A and B are shown apart, each in its own frame.
Chain A
């Protein structure tokens, strides 16, 4: 029998570090796993499923933190990202968070397909991976440093500016449940509190320097295919007119007009003067120059510079659409300089801007309604639109000072502690604060949020494009507010996203690259013959695997739910005024969805489905 070896685009090695024991080990990457689950999200989900027993406390030594590459990582394939994964302290679910920049490529050049970190270091430390050499170094001198300082300090200490760093800020050190991981250069793995998991392991940073190379199975075919797709993206209308000009903030006008822009804790979908936060406005007031992630022709980001007001002189990345929505409109703010500074503080202190804006907006509503009375909130005059209060709260949360200690638990945690009617205004799904694409006005989006594997997330399926922008679904166009055909779109989107996440490709590459295009790149890199259908099958397989992780943790149909506001309060304005997703509507959507997925009526994948996907042997 011929021994299977991984395709040439893999390193064939996983680095495992046990911080408690202080030892490291290199494990071979099982080719049978890559053939079925490819890499990235698939590989990380499989490792997490195998290594983390159900019921594990996310902050315990038994939780593992996984950085994973994909088969295309480090190649010239357009728009690649990295991922980090763990059991989330915010949701208790499988949780994967993606980041651009240059960190993950360096890990692959250092010779590893994935980095698995378990245990807890005795004191604050950082991991130094220099090609095959791995060392745990003292980081007590880095305690309290913000993310930019940490990255620069480590490079100085190691004497090499080309070292790439992933690190946490003060918020991660203090286990704020929505702390982020900052990845070189200033790209954030924001969602799900994976920075808090890193903090719980006493791990301030991972520094990597790699000088190896990445090969592919069919070099010329791969290179020319990649060349074609770089051009496809560069020349696509969406990239030319929106992404590369206005970035994600190019969505502000659309969202604010269509009633999705989260306003004052998601009470409304439109804010007056919302256009002040738009890409057009930011490009005039804030932006210095455009920046791209590794090998990406989409160029969606911008380096910004606050030019006026009390925070003038501040340089930051942003402001991304999600941040304009959550730290801006959701807190009643439209002043670009204030939102930019709030964004800067979150990036540097280490908070996910979506969850931070979600929890602050929630606190504002509770205080205004008199549900939560506290002298500290009184002193802050915590009302919608008070930018100074938002900035103060970001600091308090990051350092867990005063009320910040409670807010650091996230919306779900705050609702439980405050009690009373607080839960009625808590906007989260499975504990994850929902993003700036709320579902009133797009029922498919409601189903996508309710069933996303890591909790309320827009990057596991974004049906709004089909429901509002009129992109035809797999069975043709759909009516915006109808329930018809929505489950099918959600399944299609989730399978496609999950497949792209195994590569690890950026969501935005889907604006130009269809499943058959990604399949072509994967085939040329690995030497396998993969078509669009098989590519989507990989996504479906991975989606069922992450579902099984959550099922094992006790998640069922009852958790595939939406916040009360979206089910009982009609949207007050906009083209979808009066719309909500009633419990009956949600139940109908879930029935359709489970049927299409061949899951039982409680949302659990059937044995037959798992066998059909070839997952039986993996579970």
Chain B
């Protein structure tokens, strides 16, 4: 089912549980640096903001990719990466106006939310509903 990740920063409490859930789902370990969602936290914590791909209409990442390793999935609405084609150039990271793509420096592959196939794990763990998977 196609969904869209909705982010409600005013509800975020900065616990970063989403990062842990995401990294476990993707790697089997707890490794927030490999999470597709990253929580920006200020000091003082007047600002807390989960950052992840929101499946925007612009799709500048898809357009920026020189080898067409990124595509929009028709079924889930997610932007999907083909790791075999990807060269790790990082143009998608630079192109995203929301800073929603980060780079796995070890694997030299971009980290982008794939919506867990339509049922995002981070949403299930968020204690306050700051992350929401909205059906479209």
Contacts and interface: CB of A to CB of B under 8 A. Distances in A.
Interface string A178-210: 000000111000000000000000000000000
A265 interface: no
B47 to A, nearest CB: 10
Contacts of B21: 76
A211 B127 contact: no
Nearest to A212: B31
B127 A75 contact: no
Interface string A286-297: 001111111111
Contact of A297 (B15, B46, B105): B15
A186 B44 contact: yes
B15 A75 contact: no
Contact of B48 (A76, A216, A291, A317): A291
Contact of B16 (A288, A295, A315): A295
A219 B28 contact: yes
Contacts, number: 95
Contacts of A212: 31
Contact of B17 (A74, A289, A297): A297
B24 to A, nearest CB: 6
A213 B23 contact: yes
A230 B33 contact: no
A34 interface: no
B128 interface: yes
Interface in A111-146: none
Interface residues of B, number: 30
A317 to B, nearest CB: 7
A295 B32 CA distance: 11
B15 A317 contact: no
Given A185-B43, A294-B15, A289 B10 contact: yes
A76 B24 contact: yes
A291 B14 contact: yes
B54 interface: no
A334 interface: no
Contacts of A216: 30
A215 interface: yes
A186 B43 contact: yes
B46 A303 contact: yes
Given A109-B33, A213-B34, A292-B127, A76 B45 contact: no
Interface string B9-39: 0100111110011011001111111100000
9 contacts: A75-B30, A76-B17, A76-B24, A76-B125, A185-B43, A213-B29, A230-B17, A289-B13, A294-B16
The list of the 6 closest CB pairs from A to B, nearest first, reads A213-B31, A292-B15, A213-B29, A292-B13, A76-B20, A297-B127
Interface of B: 10, 13-17, 20-21, 23-24, 27-34, 41, 43-46, 48, 105-106, 124-125, 127-128
Given A289-B46, A292-B14, A299-B128, 11 more contacts: A186-B45, A211-B105, A212-B31, A213-B31, A234-B127, A288-B46, A289-B10, A291-B14, A295-B20, A297-B15, A297-B127
